[in-house]
Amino acid sequence: MKLHIAVLPGDGIGPEVTSQAVKVLKAIAMEFGHIFTFEYGLIGGAAIKKSGTALPEETLSICKKADTILFGAIGEPKYNFDPDAKVRPEQGLLKLRKELDLFANIRPVIAYEDLLNHSPLKNKCIKDTDIIIYRELSAGIYYGDKTLSEDGQSASDVCQYNRFEIERIAHLAFKAAQSRQRKLTLVDKANVLASSRLWRKVIMEMAPQYPNVTLDFYYIDNAAMQLILNPRQFDVILTENMFGDILSEEASVIVGSIGLLASASLGPKYAMFEPIHGAYSKATDKGIANPIASILSATMLLDHFGLLDEASLIRKAIKKSLKLHITTPDLNTKYDNISTSKVGDFIEDFINHPE
How many Cα atoms occupy the beta-carbon half-sphere of 50 within 13 Å? 15
Strands 214-219 and 130-136: unpaired
| CA 109/CA 58 separation, integer angstroms | 34
CB of 67 to a second copy, least distance (A): 29
198 in contact with a second copy (CB under 8 A): yes
In the bound state with a second copy, the residue whose beta carbon lies nearer, of 59 and 248, is: 248
CB of 66 to a second copy, least distance (A): 26
30 in contact with a second copy (CB under 8 A): no
In the bound state with a second copy, the residue whose beta carbon lies nearer, of 103 and 350, is: 103
Residues 81-140 binding a second copy (CB under 8 A) are 81, 83-84, 88, 90, 94, 120-122, 125
Q: For residue 135, which phi and psi values (nearest 5 degrees)? A: -105, 125
In the bound state with Mg ion, the residue whose beta carbon lies nearer, of 90 and 348, is: 90
Which parts of this chain interact with Mg ion (CB under 5 A)?
221, 245, 249
Residues 203-222 binding a second copy (CB under 8 A) are 204, 217, 220-222
User: Could you give the string, one character per residue 235-274, with x where binding to a second copy holds by CB under 8 A and - elsewhere?
Assistant: -------x--xxxxxx-xx----x----------------
Closest C-alpha to 189, from 123, 259, 140, 249: 140
In the bound state with a second copy, the residue whose beta carbon lies nearer, of 124 and 269, is: 124
Closest C-alpha to 341, from 322, 325, 354, 327: 327
Residue 128 CB partners (closer than 8 Å, separation 6+): 111, 232
- Element containing residue 222 per DSSP (H, E): helix 220-229
User: Could you give the string, one character per residue 133-162, with x where binding to a second copy holds by CB under 8 A and - elsewhere?
Assistant: --------xx-x-xxxx--xxxxxxxxxxx
Q: 134 and 104 in contact (C-beta within 8 Å)?
A: yes
- Element containing residue 136 per DSSP (H, E): strand 130-136
Amino acid letter for position 103: F
Q: Is 105 helix (H, G, I), strand (E, B) or coil?
A: strand
In the bound state with Mg ion, the residue whose beta carbon lies nearer, of 136 and 245, is: 245
312 in contact with a second copy (CB under 8 A): no
| CA 281/CA 134 separation, integer angstroms | 27
146's contact among Mg ion, a second copy, none, with CB below 5 to 8 A by partner kind, is a second copy
Q: Is 227 helix (H, G, I), strand (E, B) or coil?
A: helix
* DSSP calls for 33-55: T-EEEEEE---THHHHHHHSSSS
Residue of the chain from 30, 64, 128, 194 that contacts a second copy (CB under 8 A):
194
In the bound state with a second copy, the residue whose beta carbon lies nearer, of 229 and 324, is: 229
Residues forming contacts to a second copy in the complex (CB under 8 A) are 75, 79-81, 83-84, 88, 90, 94, 120-122, 125, 141-142, 144, 146-149, 152-164, 189-195, 197-198, 200-201, 204, 217, 220-222, 224-225, 228-230, 242, 245-250, 252-253, 258
